[in-house]
Structure 1
Amino acid sequence: MSNFEPAIIAFVCNWCTYTAADLAGTSRLTYPKNVRLIRVMCTGMVDPQYVIKAFLEGADGVLISGCHPGDCHYINGNYKARRRVKLLKEILPRFGIDNQRLRLTWIGASDGIQFAEIMGELVTQVRELGPTLPDLKMVI
């Protein structure tokens, strides 16, 4: 398991976190290559089914990241995301998935450095947890 590289899916807000990722790239900051960004208009649009499907399709970790509370371009989308993540963390163990594999963060558009740091921390955390169950579909 020493050469295990986790697959991370990140649902990121178009207005803040995706812009921070772009800033990190233009600033030549490095972060792990095994993070796949899925750009959504708002974290409030991330349906819990998307998160569960990501795990069932082989993701070792999922990140949902958007604007800071109170700064959402869609008024309350990040509050919706926060409620959904709380519920998902209660549901995931029923699927045999450690709820530490799901993370919610707030990263502003000018936080390119924070974006790179959080991606590194997340990959390290999931690497320590190890791969998700190879026969995860059998749990259902």
Structure 2
Amino acid sequence: MENFEPVIVAFCCHYCAYTAADMAGSQRIAYPSNVKIIRVPCSCKVDALHLVKAFEKGADGAYVAGCLKGDCHFKEGNDKAAKRVKFVKKYLEEIGIESERLEMFRMSAGMGFQFAQTAKDMTEKIRELGPSPINIAISQAKGKAA
């Protein structure tokens, strides 16, 4: 567990969160390389299925990063995304996965430092939780098959 490096998928809004990630990079503000960014046109384009599939495909944690409240380029897309994340968090709990593994964050394009800090904080949180129960089950199944 000491060497556990979590895989985290970040679904980032093109206009704000993705631009904040880009700003962090251009300002040379380091954030963990285990955070895999997926750029989406708007955070509301992240479907519940995308979030669940991220875990199914090996993510230990995931988050959706959208525009600030009231500042979505697609009017209320970020609010729809927040509701969807809340719904999926309940679903994860029902199937035995800690809901803390999924979060929703809001940031503007100029928040490069906050993007990097969010990535660091999320990595630490998931590191403390340990590997996803799905990944543990897959490892155990592979061990029994060998």
Alignment of 1:77-96 (within 5 A): 77-96=77-96
Unaligned 5+ segments in structure 1 are none
In structure 2, the residue matched to 1:45 is 45
The answer as to 2:59 corresponding to 1:59 is yes
Deviations 1:23-64 (A, max 9, x none): 000000000000000000000010000000110111000010
What is the rounded CA distance, in whole Å, between the counterparts of 1:114 and 1:88 in structure 2? 24
How many residue pairs match? The answer is: 136
- How many angstroms does 1:83 deviate by? 0.8
In structure 2, the residue matched to 1:100 is 100
What is the rounded CA distance, in whole Å, between the counterparts of 1:69 and 1:107 in structure 2? 9
Structure 2 residue identity aligned to 1:129: L
| Secondary structure in 2 matching 1:49 | helix
Task: Output the TM-score relative to the length of structure 2.
Answer: 0.91
What is the rounded CA distance, in whole Å, between the counterparts of 1:21 and 1:132 in structure 2? 25
Unaligned 5+ segments in structure 2 are 139-146
Structure 2 residue identity aligned to 1:19: T
Task: Output the TM-score relative to the length of structure 1.
Answer: 0.95
- How many angstroms does 1:94 deviate by? 2.2
In structure 1, the residue matched to 2:141 is none
Structure 2 residue identity aligned to 1:135: A
In structure 2, the residue matched to 1:135 is 137
In structure 2, the residue matched to 1:121 is 121
Identity of aligned residues (%): 47
- How many angstroms does 1:93 deviate by? 1.5
Structure 1 residue identity aligned to 2:137: D
| Secondary structure in 1 matching 2:38 | strand
Greater share of helix: 2
| Secondary structure in 2 matching 1:135 | helix
Cα RMSD (Å): 0.8
